[in-house]
Structure 1
Amino acid sequence: NSFCTLLGGAMDSDDEFDEMMVEMVASDASTRLASLEGPIGPVTAELLRTVAKLAHVELPKAPQSQSAVSSRNCVVCGRSDRAQKLRKSGPKCDPWCIGQPSSKKETVIEEMKFIKRETNDKGQEVINGLVLERKLGKGAFGNVMLARAATGQEYAVKILSKSRLRKLGAISKVQAEIEILKKLQHPHVMRVYAVFDDPSQDNLFLVSEYLKNGESYRLKEDGTGDPPLSPDRLKKFAFGIARGLQYIHARGVAHRDIKPENILLDADDKAKLADFGVSDDSDRAFTQSTEGSPAFFPPEEFLGLPVSGVRHDLWAFGVTLYCMAFGRLPFFSLDRQDLANQVTEGRLSFPPDADEELVDLLRHMLDRDPERRATVEFVLTHPFLRGLRSIKGRPEIASPVDFSTCTFSAPQCNCRAALSLSEFCAPDVAVTHELVQGGDYSISIYRRST
């Protein structure tokens, strides 16, 4: 079975590819390829190389979980270096693998049941090969530390006190968070790589992606916040959050605590969903839980009605987007009952000079009726996000798209790769949006029909 990422809306009117979108494709591709058994064929590898070249980006290397910290696997063919195959420039692999082995070693974290504690010559604590360098912050159940591997790669490590978790009855909640995060791999979702158990000190160490730029937006206790984001940055964050939600919802996960402080930014200013501490399986369609942050609750939470996790997320996403756009919460009161009245009565207002398309989008996202509330697909196809591309699903363009021939015209493109696309899409098979949700994929590149 061939691997597939659907590359939707790849071309703009000037026949140039959207770099951010292609980077997302490349990241998604490398992560999925790393889980395949056995080598892939040269045609697939050539196509993926072409995708990377079109936007002048390097295909990122996906972290592996089956090797020790010092070992490496080829990100494409999966071959291990354990049998004396290591070399200074990287692991050997088949000649058609994506790119050449990198001179920069990728740190791989092995999930261990036991902790190996050391102290380096600088007096810093070392946990399973990770140097705990400095404190990043403090959460409800412990500290968050910046950790560095021998290769220089940085991680965020949550040190969770199990005794405190037990006292607060939160052990199961944290375990649920870990299980949820470990199975999520998407450019707009924070990665969790491993968890270490430390029985001697009754701690858990949660090793995750280090998102260097922190919170996407900061709110104050009075309901106001940082200055509003620029329109371009607002759209970029909205697109990223929507893509992250689309991904987790498709996998039966609802976040249930979407708010600016849980949308973190990496070094490239890319928004990522984080802190799934109150997430649940969205296939359990309705709950009557009131977990999360009241200022981001939908009306049904205050009314004690059954709550869909997915629709809860879309409401909270709308509140988050409103904050980023206008510098304040749409509903705010220190009195919970007054806040509930504002939300349930729909006391929503906008600045007189607000962008009309943004206002329309927010009115749909903050619809009091959960049945009428915007879906994530509605958000991604709304005119406010016109011009931003989705890497999976329908192309974000108004004109028809040619699925049948799967050919395209771009001067940067490798012709051999373009011609070989027909090997992945039989003439009698329609490549549609439904295929994205089906699970058996092949690489396809859309082109704008003339």
Structure 2
Amino acid sequence: MISTSSSQKKNLQSLLATNLKKLTITPPPNNDFEFAEVFGPLTPQQQHHHPNPTQSPSSTSSPSAFLGDPQVIHTRSHSYVGPSPRYTLSSSPPFQIQEIQETETENEAEAEAEEEEAKTKFGPEDFEIMRVVGKGAFGKVFLVRRNGRNDEEGDGDGIFAMKVMRKDTIIKKNHVDYMKAERNILTKVVHPFIVQLRYSFQTKSKLYLILDFVNGGHLFFHLYRQGIFSEDQARFYTAEIVSAVSHLHKCGIVHRDLKPENILVDADGHVMLTDFGLAKEIDESSRSNSMCGTTEYMAPEILQSKGHNKDADWWSIGILLYEMLTGQPPFTHANRQKLHQRIIQEKVKLPPFLSTEAHSLLKGLLQKEPSRRLGSSPSGGDEIKKHKWFRSINWKKLEAREIQPKFKPDVSGKDCTANFDQCWTTMPADDSPASTPTAGAHFEGYTYVAPNPWLSSK
């Protein structure tokens, strides 16, 4: 029995081996799986054929994934809110956004967590909207009163300016970096002639900056109502502006958009510098190649794309001073290209009715070569403060706000808006809805509360 069983097993094994040799497998047609179907899409690092290894596949054909340079303002608007409509000349982006799904999901979760945390601090519901006082490319500025729901400082009647900016518009215009820079710079700067940031927060669709409300209106408003300023009045305003800009430069910040529309006058008659939407942190040895600013106030080196630094602000102050003393900037033209040529090539024509000291200061500030411009030396703003046109200014008293302005705006109270253009103040005072951007990671870390602002001011 045992021998028969062994013989049968050998015969079966031999038959099986013979049949296996004849066996062939035909693959089914068109049913192969793609690599991506099994393991997911290739990462940017795996795509060696990709022209830019740092770029995600989804952004290869999307120019909107790039953040361009800040842009040039050609339509001036005296707005609390920031830049007027602009256009971009530069085609070289400083960096690009990588849209990686997992990272976005994590960042969205972080942004939502920050939003939840902000609700325990401050949010739009903590402020009662009273009136519109400005409008710009990204949103509006409202006069608001803080309500008592979150009244830790005991100042529930506090009057503020609430700058509201739409995230979708900021992202579409590639200004994410500049809006973040504005908030970051304002948290670092404290100066008697610079508007103070009190809070910043965000919702899913908007950014909010809560600033001190300066109720005397814009310098633009008073200049165009008076026509021109006397040298004494212009000297006082220019001195306070020079003081503020000198402080910015010492903090490594260039403003880059100095003009009457971005300077407010408070109830006591002092000027307050505002709108840091184009400001940039830059060290002494660096230069920026961005084409930005308001055309009439842009330094020649910006228009020529030679690279610029803090010296560009001193040029803008020269233009601003010229406008205060004469009623208009020194270089104007309806044609943009001809305006550029005038700024780069033409000499400044100084009116004979100005003092020789004013002539001297304007010539120094409006030097087309930055290295020859007044304020370009290592002493910076101190060089300008020592100019003979400012001989009558006691800078210590000025910066302590001890010099009494000769002109004070007609203000009836902390919430007075009589010195703001009626084109804004007659607008419906509502924070209208806005669409929520699909990517929520752009504005991480935006929330801010100033440290004990009222206690420190006493």
Q: Distance in 2 between matches of 1:131 and 1:207?
A: 12
Q: Which deviations, in whole Å up to 9, do the C-alpha atoms of 1:183-232 show, x marking residues without a partner?
A: 10000111111111112xx1111101111112112599xxx885111222
Are 2:363 and 1:363 equivalent residues in the alignment?
yes
Unmatched tracts of structure 2, length 5 or more: 1-114, 148-154, 376-380, 400-458
SS of the residue corresponding to residue 118 of structure 2 reads: coil
Deviation at residue 140 of structure 1 after TM alignment: 1.1
Match of 1:114 among 118, 123, 129: 118
Shift of 1:384: 1.1
What's the TM-score, normalizing by structure 1?
A: 0.57
In structure 2, distance between residues paired with 1:190 and 1:213: 13
Q: Conserved in 1, the CA contact under 8 Å of 2:241 and 2:271? A: yes
TM-superposed deviation, 1:114: 2.9
Give the match for residue 29 of structure 1: none
Q: Choose the corresponding residue for 2:129, options 128, 132, 157.
A: 132
Equivalent residue number for residue 185 of structure 2: 180
Deviation (angstroms), 1:304: 2.1
Cα pair distance change 1:274/1:245, threshold 3 Å: same
- Within 5 Å, give how 1:184-195 maps onto structure 2: 184-195=189-200
Shift of 1:112: 8.2
Contact 1:115 1:196 in 2 (8 A): no
- Are 2:158 and 1:153 equivalent residues in the alignment? yes
2:292·2:302 contact (CA, 8 Å) conserved in 1?
no
Please list the CA deviations of residues 298-357 of structure 1 after superposition, one character each: whole Å capped at 9, or x if unmatched: 11122221212x111000010011101110110011212211221222321122211111
Q: Which residue of 2 aligns with 1:242?
A: 242
- Paired with 1:365 and 1:373, the residues of 2 have a C-alpha distance of 6
Q: Does the residue aligned with 1:145 lie in a helix, a strand or coil?
A: strand
Q: How does 1:45-124 map to 2 (within 5 A)?
A: 113-115=117-119
Determine the C-alpha separation between the residues in 2 that align with 1:340 and 1:138. Answer: 27
Would you say how many aligned residue pairs link Structure 1 and Structure 2?
Answer: 272
Matched, 1:209 2:212: yes
* Cα separation, 2, equivalents of 1:226 and 1:265: 14
CA distance in 2, matches of 1:113, 1:143: 25
Q: Deviations over 1:135-175 (max 9, x none)?
A: 11212111111111353321100111111111111122101
Corresponding residue number in structure 2 for 1:377: 382
Does the CA-based 8 Å contact 1:241-1:273 persist in structure 2?
Answer: yes
Pick closer, same or farther for the CA change 1:353–1:112 going to 2, 3 Å.
Answer: farther
Match of 1:165 among 142, 157, 170: 170
1:337–1:127 CA distance, 2 compared to 1 (3 A): closer
1:93-139 CA deviation, whole Å, 9 max, x = no partner? Answer: xxxxxxxxxxxxxxxxxx98434799xxxxxxx83532221111212
Query: What is the alpha-carbon distance in structure 1 between the residues aligned to residue 398 and residue 121 of structure 2?
Result: 46
Q: Deviations over 1:16-65 (max 9, x none)?
A: xxxxxxxxxxxxxxxxxxxxxxxxxxxxxxxxxxxxxxxxxxxxxxxxxx
Per the alignment, residue 229 of structure 1 pairs with: 229
Name stretches of at least 5 consecutive residues in structure 1 with no aligned partner. 1-110, 119-125, 395-450
Q: Is the 8 A contact 1:195 1:205 kept in 2?
A: yes
Identity %: 28
* C-alpha distance in structure 1 between counterparts of 2:275 and 2:339, whole Å: 24
In the aligned structure 2, how far is the partner of 1:273 from the partner of 1:353?
29
SS in structure 1 of the partner of residue 160 of structure 2 = strand
Q: Does 1:143 find its partner at 2:140?
A: yes
Deviations 1:377-420 (A, max 9, x none): 222111111221223999xxxxxxxxxxxxxxxxxxxxxxxxxx
Letter of the structure 1 residue corresponding to residue 282 of structure 2: S
Measure, in 1, the Cα distance between the counterparts of 2:305 and 2:319: 20
Secondary structure class of the residue paired with 1:144: strand
Q: CA deviation at 1:291?
A: 0.7
Give the distance between the partners of 1:246 and 1:189, measured in 2 at CA. Answer: 12
**Which AA in structure 1 matches 2:265?**
L
Partner of 1:260: 260
Shift in alpha-carbon separation, 1:117–1:381, aligned structure 2, 3 A: closer
Q: Distance in 1 between matches of 2:128 and 2:225?
A: 35
Residue pair 2:240, 2:398 contacting (<8 A) in 1 also: no
Structure 1's 256 and 392: CA in aligned 2 closer, same or farther, altered over 3 A? farther
For residue 217 of structure 1, give the secondary structure of its aligned residue in structure 2. Answer: helix
CA gap of 1:392–1:232, structure 2 versus 1, over 3 A, is: closer
Change (3 A) 1:279 1:393: same
Taking structure 2 as the reference length, the TM-score comes to: 0.56
Q: How does 1:368-447 map to 2 (within 5 A)?
A: 368-375=368-375, 376-391=381-396
Kept in 2: contact 1:217–1:324 (CA 8 A): no
- Letter of the structure 1 residue corresponding to residue 257 of structure 2: D
Q: Which residue of 1 aligns with 2:420?
A: none
Counterparts of 1:285 and 1:393 in 2: how far apart (Å)?
31
1:344 match: secondary structure: helix
2:303 matches 1:306: no
In the other structure, the counterpart of 2:73 is none
Query: Which structure: larger Rg?
Result: 2
Shift of 1:254: 0.4
Higher helix proportion (structure 1 or 2): 2
Amino acid in structure 1 at the alignment position of 2:130? E
Q: Return closer, same or farther for 1:385/1:195 CA change in 2, 3 Å cut-off.
A: same
Please give the secondary structure, in 2, of the residue aligned with 1:354. coil
